[in-house]
Amino acid sequence: MNKNLYRIVFNKARGMLMVVPDIAASGRAASSPSEGVGHTQRRCMSRLGRISFSLLLAMGCVSTPVWAGIVADGSAPGQQQPTIINSANGTPQINIQTPSAAGVSQNKYTQFDIDQKGAILNNSHQMTQTQLGGMVAANPWLAKGEAKVILNEVNSRDPSQLNGMLEVAGRQAQIVIANPAGITCNGCGFINANRTTLTTGQVQLSNGQIAGYDVNRGTITVQGRGMDGSRQDTTELIARAVKVNATIQAGDLEITTGRNNVSASDRSATAKSDDGSARPQFAVDVAQLGGMYANKIQLRGTESGVGVHNAGTLGASAGDVVVNADGSITNSGLIQASNNVQLSSRNDISSQGVLAAGMKTDGTASAAGELAMQSQGKLTVSGQNIAVSKLTAKGLSVDFSASQSRAGSVELAAAQGDVHTQKANVAAQQIAVSTSGMLNNDGGTLSADKLSLTASQLSNRQGALQQTGDSELTLAHTGGIDNRGGNIVANSKKLTLSGATLDNQQGRIQANAVEVNTAKQSLNNQQGVIAASKSVKLQSGGLNNDEGLVQAGTELALDLQGGALSNRNSGKKGIFSNGTLTVNGGGAGQPAGRYRQRRSAPAQRQSAE
């Protein structure tokens, strides 16, 4: 008959009042005869109905068993201590504290762990339905209004373990979980939140609202069953380091790492000076089984020398992927965006994986998409690169060796060192290369409607330079051109090559019109081909055409500037013109070989075979 009644007793061991059922034993082995009415009055026994007890319980006026994993901080001010109870189906329910005038409910804990059952942040001033706990009673702390931001601050030496869903009951709000010791997510997710912020920073408050996050330490780790942030607009991870060993699903995903002061208003990060503490190996580390899938992805690493490593997948389905790091950026996985991909590092950038800009998740192309890589150190790319619009790669040196690249236009620029495209295949409507050093395309292929190559030296051994458009192509390389076994083929009106030397041994140079100027140095065309459908004009300090072919459709002019001409063992090759043939110079080294012209020319002619 007393099952719905309770009494309050004073627990000497805990030093506080506790509620127990009226039918419960006193806790002693037996009652003594002296325990009469007077003694009961000294214990302040009272009888409470269900409603009165529920109100006392919700307001935290009585002690209840501590729910495993979630413990309010008893040392915090009372208005910062949430009340933790069970919902109707046993799911932990957190009655958050009264929000500030700015709408921030501040709640402090000594432990904040969520198991697979999940937990509910009660942000409703009236009874409401939830996905995790069914019907939830009104939160008495919210009589003056619900929260816009639910701040959960954890004061612990241990990382928070988020292994289940966290649901906001009632009004949708931003969830903030702050634990400087770290946060581990294994199957975590968020329901009815418009924004989620996980941070290892100390939360900075001003006028009742969050001003920013002061980060000194701590790692956020996503593992196992991953993180589901797909139900809210934005998911924020702010920590000294982030490890992703599983999948993150999000709307927009923003990750900021390093020892920073991060503004809550504009998300700007101000790096702190080095305090001598051990630096993490990576600011953001995405393992092979890890991945980030969101509308847009932004990764920022501000700590000096600490980089970003991706062996998994970064996929943006409706926007950009932006990665900025003070340290090196390394990619052996996939970085893909339906719009732009931007990689920027104050150190090196290295990619052995796939970089794709303007590509949808189903593999089809978007309307536009730029792939931009900006390195203040070495830029090394040996994987696959796709950009619907433009591909830009800039660094102290640029190495695209053994890579495969397709884009609307390609720009490779080295500030100090060389540009390497050995054994690479680069195709675009326009390709521009700029370096004060060498462009090394040995074994590689650069193919475009228009080529623009600026370098002091060009090496194209066993390589291919192909221009399919008809604009003029000029290859001016003061340090010389090495085209041994290579192909320089242009559909242009005119192809001009100039440099200290030109070595075309076993190579091919071909266009509608070809002009060569080797600055009075020799031209080596042994077993090579220099051919044009119209004119060929060669200026050099000598020509070695042994077993080679120089051929013009309308006009062939050789100005050897006093140098020797060697045309031995020409067989069916030699020097041919279907129009005029003019040879200026050649000296004693020119007698052997084949020479042919259809019409005579006023200058020296060789027609002997």
Q: What is the pLDDT of residue 586?
A: 63
Bigger pLDDT: 2 vs 407: 407
H helix count then E strand count, the chain = 2, 62
Residue 461 confidence (pLDDT): 99
Does residue 408 carry a pLDDT above 50? yes
Mean pLDDT highest for which of 290-294, 519-523, 594-598? Answer: 290-294
* 104-117 residue pLDDT tens: 999 999 999 999 99
pLDDT at 580 over 80: yes
Provide the pLDDT for residue 287.
98
Quote the pLDDT of residue 595. Answer: 63
Q: Are 372 and 343 in contact (CB under 8 A)?
A: yes
- Predicted local distance difference test score (pLDDT) of residue 401: 98
Give the CB-side neighbour count of residue 274, counting CA atoms within 13 A: 8
Q: What is the mean pLDDT of residues 222-226?
A: 98
Dump strand ranges (E) for 376-418. 378-381, 384-395, 397-399, 404-414
CA 214 to chain centre: 24
The H or E element containing residue 21 is strand 16-21
Phi/psi of residue 211, nearest 5 degrees: -95, -30
Q: Where are the domains of the chain?
A: 6-51, 456-609
Q: Which two tokens stand for residue 236?
A: 């924020």
pLDDT tens for 163-174 read 999 999 999 999
Average pLDDT rounded to a whole number, residues 439-451: 99
pLDDT tens by residue, 158-209: 999 999 999 999 999 999 999 999 999 999 999 999 999 999 999 999 999 9
pLDDT computed for residue 60 by the predictor: 44
pLDDT for residue 599: 54
pLDDT at 265: 94
pLDDT category, 234, cuts 50, 70, 90? very high
Residue carrying the six token digits 């060993």: 245
pLDDT in tens, 19-65: 444 444 444 333 333 333 333 333 333 444 444 544 444 444 444 44
Give residue 587's pLDDT.
57
Instruction: Choose between 371 and 88: higher pLDDT.
Output: 371
Which among 506, 521, 513 is positioned nearest to 490, based on CA atoms?
A: 513
pLDDT tens digits, one per residue of 307-354: 999 999 999 999 999 999 999 999 999 999 999 999 999 999 999 999
Query: Global pTM?
Result: 0.86
> Residue 519: its pLDDT value, please?
84
Instruction: Quickly tell me which residue has 């995405």 as its tokens.
Output: 286
| Share of residues in the chain with pLDDT > 90 (%) | 81
Q: Is the pLDDT of residue 270 over 90?
A: yes
Which tens digits make up the pLDDT trace of 511-559? 999 999 998 898 999 999 999 999 999 999 999 999 999 999 999 999 9
- Going by their DSSP bridges, the two strands 481-482 and 457-459 should be labelled as parallel
Which one of 13-17, 363-367, 506-510 scores highest in mean pLDDT? 506-510
- The reported pLDDT for the residue numbered 593 is 54
